[in-house]
Structure 1
């Protein structure tokens, strides 16, 4: 991975990568090297602060590999294997390489068979963090209306005049 690449991760994405690194142990491979580079050269953001143009886990993204268009695909944390064609595993070289890149950024990495690939992010169709911010903003703009009846009224009650039936004046009248 090129060191000029500016990688941005959510705290959750960084945690996933750290657990993947623990599983990799000390086996040197292109994947573990890229994984270490991601963790060493990234800025970590809170979920609500990550820019909407950055690839995070569960983002639907269109990208190119060596100039060929790929996607859109959803970056998933599932292991490689029997994934549908619209899914890209974070456990693959391409999936790991694209995580944390912003639209317009590119990175170069070595595949397991030693070939070089240049991956470039073209367009983000859906980012879960940006979607959550939009929903939260929409909820703030629309104040909920409570149509439930009031159980207790706190309005002052009108005072009623007390009419005494006995002719005995009270002691203050004396």
Structure 2
């Protein structure tokens, strides 16, 4: 990814990247140059405005490394221990490289054993922001039945439960009962 081609980050993702950079171990940290480039080139948008083809946190993406076989992972915030092979943390170089890329874009980073490694985003299979927008749109666009409005304004019926397990009751004359009915009467 060249310095002129910005990544797209939600405000939340950008804040996380900034925090990661502040906590960075220094220039020897392998994430430091990636964090710097992401912050310097980021186009920050609200979650409602992020294009659906951009990799955000919790997105399920398909990608390649050096044009090798494609892999599919969920971009996560922290290292995930289970299930193995399902998540790719942004605390790793490859996970961080994918964050903010649009489909078809690539990010070049220094390889672990020298050379350049190219991470290319093939597809965003699922993006939580796009799913939330579609759900909100469907909720506002769907016609509501007339009785749905009336049902929303009904007062729910309450059932008073004295105990989770019924206690055996002894038959006591009414004269022996105290005058204060106790908190259960409230």
TM-score range, shorter chain: 0.7 to 0.9
User: Structure 2: which 5+ residue stretches go unaligned?
Assistant: 155-186
For the residue of structure 1 that corresponds to 2:135, the secondary structure is helix
Tell me, what secondary structure is at the counterpart of 2:31? helix
1:88-147 deviation line (CA, Å, top 9, x unaligned): 011000001011000011121113443310111111110000000000000001244223
Compare CA radii of gyration and give the structure with the larger one. 1
- Taking CA–CA contacts closer than 8 Å with sequence separation of 6 or more, which of the two structures ends up with the larger relative contact order? 1
Distance 1:59 1:82 in 2: 17
Number of residues of Structure 1 aligned to a counterpart in Structure 2: 151
Residues 30, 111 of structure 1: 8 Å contact kept: no
Task: Name the structure 2 match of 1:125.
Answer: 125
Confirm or deny that 1:13 pairs with 2:16: no
Q: Indicate yes or no: 2:97 matched with 1:94.
A: no
Question: Separation in 2 of the partners of 1:13 and 1:117?
Answer: 23
Match of 2:48, SS? coil
The 8 Å contact of residues 5 and 105 in structure 1, kept in 2 or not, is answered as: no
| Larger CA deviation: 47-56 vs 80-89 | 80-89
Per the alignment, residue 147 of structure 1 pairs with: 150
Aligned-residue RMSD, C-alpha: 2.2
Q: Is the 8 A contact 2:55 2:100 kept in 1?
A: yes
Structure whose residues are more often strand by fraction: 1
- In the superposition, the TM-score normalised over structure 1's length comes to 0.78
Equivalent residue of 1:68, what SS? coil
Residues 14-53 of structure 1, C-alpha deviations (whole Å, 9 max, x = no match) = 0111111121153433311111110111100000000000
